Amino acid sequence: MNNPWEDINLSDYENHMALESVGQLQAMNQMMKTQLNQYDIQSAVILGIAGGNGLEHVNPDKLNKVYGVDINANYLAMTKTRYKALGDTLECLCVDLTTEADKLPKVDMLIANLLIEYIGYECFKNVVKATTPRYVSCIIQINVDEGFVSDSPYLHVFDGLETVHHQMAEQELCTNMDEINYQLIQTLEYPLPNGKKLVQLDFCCNN
């Protein structure tokens, strides 16, 4: 059975995220600017890259390699087209994180924005262990009562995601990361127009 993310059109996803009432595309773009530039790193893997939102903040003089990972090959093709100016610095990998974590590269930093919700804590820990990053930066969404997908004209495009969605909690994520020797070093909150919020949690390996 296909992962539901393989069946969601990129333009529907991006148009939904960019709506003024949702505001997530814009917020995550600015958050990724910080994620990519705050720490002393030379390589990074970005999980759930979709259409590449935020890759304009990659500085090839700082980062030798950035891997964009997604389960949807069409998303990756668009990312390659949009950011071809990055040349060999950007490499796109079509990987199912639930079964193919061993295909991921070793990197200095792992970025997972609105991604853990769709693979769960245990799978995410396996991904972290496979990539052995010094830093892990995650963005999770804290929901209000109406559900994890914000109301919009594109709402029903995302109906299939209920089959793979996991509810996130900050403390539970921290507990799971602590189990694999990653310590929380920073928390940032970004309120959204509809009452939800994005929470960025950064971790550093204790080893």
Q: What is the DSSP letter of 68?
A: E
Beta strands in 25-156 (DSSP E): 43-47, 65-70, 90-94, 109-113, 135-142
What does each of the 207 residues of the chain score in pLDDT, given as a tens digit?
577 777 777 777 777 777 776 777 888 889 999 999 999 999 999 999 999 999 999 999 999 999 999 999 999 999 999 999 999 999 999 999 999 999 999 999 999 998 998 899 999 999 999 999 999 999 998 766 555 455 554 455 555 666 566 677 899 999 999 999 999 999 999 888 777 788 999 999 987
The model's pTM is 0.89
Domain spanning 4-205: which CATH class is it, in words?
alpha beta
Q: Say if residues 36 and 63 touch (Cβ distance below 8 Å).
A: yes
